[in-house]
Amino acid sequence: MALQPGTEQPGTRQPGATPEVSPADLRRAVLATSIGNCLEWFDFAVYGYMAVVLGQLFFPTDDPASSLLLSFAAFGAAFVVRPLGGMFFGPLGDRVGRRGVLCVIILMMSAATFCVGLLPTHAAVGVLAPTLLVVLRLVQGFTAGGEVTGATAFIAEYSPDRIRGRVTSWIQFSATLGFFLGLAAPTVLNLLLDPEQIAAWGWRLPFLVAGPLGVVGLYIRLRLGESPRFAQLERSGEVVRHPLREAVVKGWREVLLAGGIGIVVHLGYFLALVYMPTYLTKVLGFAPSTAFLATTTVVVLNIVMIPISGRLSDRWGRKPIMMAAAVGFVVATIPVFLLIGQGGAATFVGLGILGLLHGTYLGAVAAAFAEIFATKVRFGGFSIGHNVSAAIFGGGTPLLATYLGGLLGSTLMPAYLIVAGSLLCVVAVSRYREMAGKPLRATGSETP
């Protein structure tokens, strides 16, 4: 991870530029934020990829489709409380600092995920089993409301201005890596265990991994200092006493903008990644092994493109890269889904195109998110906008695609949802003011 601060000579930095940090501190900050972010998305991904098994264990019905719908409903429940988590953790981080809040979040998040792996099933305790599962999903969703937004704000405030796109792209990289690990876990289980063993105890293993990973992430975060930007705000006495009110009342345009440019992020993650194995097996009739292997194509190309796009965004700007990817989704998604339905090599080509488009967008968007807001409300404003967007365009979309696809008899429902959301995203990106290479605003009074 060769991340180096800017090479400007003393006295040549722009006024208001991010205070310089050592290469070791920058690497440690990237690692600390990436581990927690990876863990969060591993949890969401592994649940989505194991939705069929969990539906049978916790929501058994005579109709497998109904069990799957209930399982995705529990998946989506976490997104209902994400805005509440964002409204709690975000303003708290703007008032007391990013580091402490991120430590609390990773502790709660890993503990809840670990406890999912300990739950009794419906066969053992009846209706108590799905009730406990939904409660833990709500805890996971509540903490997720502050994780990715806090991590983005924290690492953006550590990053030198001229390489902020490159550094912050690690946030989306770690999220996609979490998806990859969440995809790999059930794939490995299917290779090593038979269906009876997976249903009996194997499904628990991916969730139990969250315990030790959370401890490691907490240890690294505890060794970090506060972000330089927030520390600077504290020294100048400009920390806002009521950041939630400041963000919502005075900064509502920025909140809406963050939610808008996040639409493609959420649709790509939850329809093109989480829902895809279920779509390929249950809607298109592919073999599970083929579905998981094909979905891996999306994830791998995402992972490859994110750091490339992040670097390019420092050179060319965030706006042209995000706009190109969002327009690409509008134009290409329906033809791509028609290609996916052909089977064979065409499926892998189609999913590869989705992966390239999504990875391109992700690489530039993390820096853009941070640049929309001033430091005094960055954590809170971003948390509110991003999580409301996630609640609308994220976790509920697999359930919506499953329901509407069955109701209307259409195999292209995920494509229609992605195109509609991408059109809204294009409008939002057009309103973003380019900030590549410029200092982050501290209080909002500076001219971007």
User: How many CB atoms within 10 Å of residue 379?
Assistant: 35
The mean per-residue pLDDT over the stretch 169-192 comes to 87
Tell me how far CA of residue 321 lies from CA of 203, 242, 436, in angstroms: 39, 35, 12
Average pLDDT in the 328-342 region?
94
Asked whether the beta carbons of 111 and 257 are under 8 A apart, the reply is: no
For 442, the token pair is: 């501290």
Question: What is the separation of C-alpha 93 from the centre of its chain, rounded to a whole number of angstroms?
Answer: 19
Burial code (b: 16+ CB inside 10 Å, e: under 16) for 120-131 equals ebbeeeeeebbe
pLDDT at position 12 over 70: no
Would you call 320 exposed, middle or buried from its count of C-beta atoms within 10 A (0-12, 13-18, 19+)?
A: middle
pLDDT value for 281 = 86
Model confidence at 213: pLDDT above 80: yes
Nearest to 179 by CA among 354, 347, 351, 49: 49
294 burial type by CB count under 10 A (0-12 exposed, 13-18 middle, 19+ buried):
buried
* The pLDDT of residue 404: 81
Taking residue 424's Cβ as centre, other Cβ atoms within 10 Å add up to: 18
What's the average model confidence in pLDDT over 198-214?
89
- pLDDT confidence bin for 434, thresholds 50/70/90: very high
Which of 50, 40, 49, 47 shows the shortest CA–CA distance to 298? Answer: 49
Question: Does pLDDT of 69 surpass 80?
Answer: no
User: For residues 275 and 279, what is the distance between their CA atoms, to the nearest angstrom?
Assistant: 6
What mean pLDDT is reported for the chain? 86
Both structure tokens of 260: 């808008």
How far is the C-alpha of 56 from the C-alpha of 54, rounded, in Å? 5
User: Most confidently modeled of 100-104, 141-145, 294-298, 390-394?
Assistant: 100-104
pLDDT score of 16:
58
Whether the predicted pLDDT of 14 surpasses 60 = no
**Tokens (6 digits) for 380:** 């809170």
Task: Count the residues in the chain.
Answer: 448
- Confidence check: pLDDT of 176 > 60: yes
Percent with pLDDT over 70 in the chain: 93
Domains of the chain: 23-430 (1.20.1250.20)
Report, as an integer, the average pLDDT of 329-339: 94
